[in-house]
């Protein structure tokens, strides 16, 4: 039975890139079987399929996934590139940290990509962002599609990987992908001056092939990324800069909130750990605890 990978999904149709390279439009046979097993085919899934005619077929099974994201809905990615604008709209660390938490839970390699560097006159603004994530050790690439700065560095990180691109609307994600993939037809929307963020110009999740190997997934912009289903313990491990401090906390299973003898709180107090990241941690922890309560 032939096999392949789902590279796009639209209105119940799954577009499968077969092992030979052609793209087959498929339905999912026995979709109720998928739902009964709580499995719905996702972009990125490796699947088996049967032909029903010229360039058409049905998906008969979905292979086990190495990773799975719910928002954006995609499977089997290895790396996440979170795209954030430095200007227009202004850099926002809270939604970035929300996505980082989810990517950490899925054990994805993470790259932070800062766009629109040509609009920044104060280099200390970029250094402040780097300082915020220095302890977490995330690679940070600053880019500009106008000057070309950072593009080669980003391509090196993408080569040979299956990478999900995600970010708030209007941060320049689609423009960046157009620059990397000139043949793509990503619609670029203007940033709304009224609300400070762009329209959702990406309508679906799609895997796109890179010239030098690897795949990237363009995903719809998101403005809310909840933490439903995440535990407080998982959140603790989703901030990598906290890991070296965990064994020094007085109590095992410390949530770094109100517990005495907390090494993480001491690290924040001394300036070793970034205060804004800790504020976001407490915000997420409260959100998780409230969900559990209700």
> pLDDT (tens digit, 9 = 90+) per residue, 54-80?
889 999 999 999 988 776 788 999 999
CATH superfamily of 232-293: Probable gtpase engc; domain 3 (1.10.40.50)
CATH placement of domain 3-62: 2.40.50.140
47 pairs with which residues across the strands? 4, 62
Q: pTM of the entire structure?
A: 0.82
**Residue carrying structure tokens 């912009």:** 221
Q: Which CATH class is domain 68-218?
A: alpha beta
More confidently predicted of 196 and 33: 33
**Residue carrying structure tokens 């990324």:** 225
Rounded mean pLDDT, 202-215: 82
Q: Please write the tens of the pLDDT for every residue from 212-240.
A: 889 998 666 444 566 778 899 999 999 99
Q: Please write the tens of the pLDDT for every residue from 253-267.
A: 999 999 999 999 999
164 pairs with which residues across the strands? 80, 217
Report pLDDT for 220.
Answer: 62
**CA nearest 223: which of 95, 81, 69?**
95
Report pLDDT for 38.
Answer: 65
Cα 242 → chain centroid: 21
Which of the four pLDDT bands, split at 50, 70 and 90, describes residue 203? low
Q: Please write the tens of the pLDDT for every residue from 118-131.
A: 999 999 999 999 99
Rounded mean pLDDT, 91-110: 90
Report pLDDT for 46.
Answer: 96
Q: Is the pLDDT of residue 94 over 90?
A: yes
Burial class for 242, CB neighbours closer than 10 Å (0-12, 13-18, 19+): buried
Kind of pairing between the strands at 3-10 and 13-18: antiparallel
Rounded mean pLDDT, 23-39: 74
**Residue carrying structure tokens 């709304």:** 192
Report pLDDT for 68.
Answer: 85
Domains 3-62 and 232-293 share a fold: no
**HEC secondary structure over the chain:** CCEEEEEEEECCEEEEEECCCCEEEEEECCHHHHHHCCCCCCCCCEEEEEEEECCEEEEEEECCCCCEEECCEEECCCEEEEEEECCCCCCCHHHHHHHHHHHHHCCCEEEEEEECHHHCCCHHHHHHHHHHCCCCCCCEEECCCCCCCCHHHHHHHHCCCEEEEECCCCCCHHHHHHHHCCCCCCCCCCECCCCCCECCCCCCCEEEECCCCCEEEECCCCCCCCCCCCCHHHHHHCCHHHHHHHHHCCCCCCCCCCCCCCHHHHHHHHCCCCHHHHHHHHHHHHHHHHHHHC
Domain boundaries, the chain: 3-62, 68-218, 232-293
Mean pLDDT score across all residues of the chain: 86
**CA nearest 85: which of 240, 196, 184?**
196
Report pLDDT for 179.
Answer: 87
Q: Is the pLDDT of residue 187 over 70?
A: no
Q: Please write the tens of the pLDDT for every residue from 82-93.
A: 899 999 999 999
Rounded mean pLDDT, 43-55: 92
Which of the four pLDDT bands, split at 50, 70 and 90, describes residue 20? confident
Report pLDDT for 201.
Answer: 45
Torsion angles phi and psi, residue 251, rounded to 5 = -110, 135
Please tell me the distance from the alpha carbon of residue 238 to that of residue 242, in angstroms, as a whole number: 9
Please tell me the distance from the alpha carbon of residue 200 to that of residue 236, in angstroms, as a whole number: 32
Report pLDDT for 190.
Answer: 40
Q: Please write the tens of the pLDDT for every residue from 128-155.
A: 999 999 999 999 999 999 999 999 999 9
């Amino acid at each position: 039975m032939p096999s392949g990978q789902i590279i796009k999904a639209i209105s119940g149709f799954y577009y499968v890139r077969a092992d030979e390279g052609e793209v087959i439009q498929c339905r999912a046979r026995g979709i109720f079987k998928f739902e009964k097993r709580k499995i719905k085919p996702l972009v990125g899934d490796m699947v088996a399929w049967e032909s029903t005619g010229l360039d058409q077929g049905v998906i008969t099974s979905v292979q086990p996934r190495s990773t799975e994201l719910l928002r954006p809905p995609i499977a089997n990615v290895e790396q996440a590139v979170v795209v954030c604008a430095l200007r227009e709209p202004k850099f926002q660390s809270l939604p970035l940290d929300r996505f980082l938490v989810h990517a950490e839970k899925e054990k994805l390699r993470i790259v932070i990509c800062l766009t629109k560097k040509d609009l920044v006159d104060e280099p200390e603004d970029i250094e402040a962002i780097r300082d915020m994530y220095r302890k977490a050790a995330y690679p940070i690439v600053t880019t500009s599609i106008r000057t070309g700065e950072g593009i080669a560095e980003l391509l090196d990180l993408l080569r040979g990987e299956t990478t999900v691109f995600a970010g708030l609307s209007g941060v320049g994600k689609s423009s960046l992908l157009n620059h990397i993939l000139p043949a793509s037809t990503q619609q670029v929307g203007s940033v709304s001056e009224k609300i400070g963020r762009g329209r959702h110009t990406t309508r679906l999740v799609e895997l796109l092939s890179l010239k030098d190997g690897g795949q990237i997934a363009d995903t719809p912009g998101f403005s809310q990324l909840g933490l439903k289903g995440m535990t407080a313990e998982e959140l603790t491990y989703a901030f990598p800069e906290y890991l070296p401090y965990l064994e020094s906390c007085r109590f095992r299973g410390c949530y770094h909130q109100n517990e005495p003898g907390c090494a993480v709180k001491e690290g924040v107090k001394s300036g070793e750990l970034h205060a804004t990241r800790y504020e976001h941690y407490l915000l997420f922890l409260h959100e998780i605890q409230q969900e559990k309560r209700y």
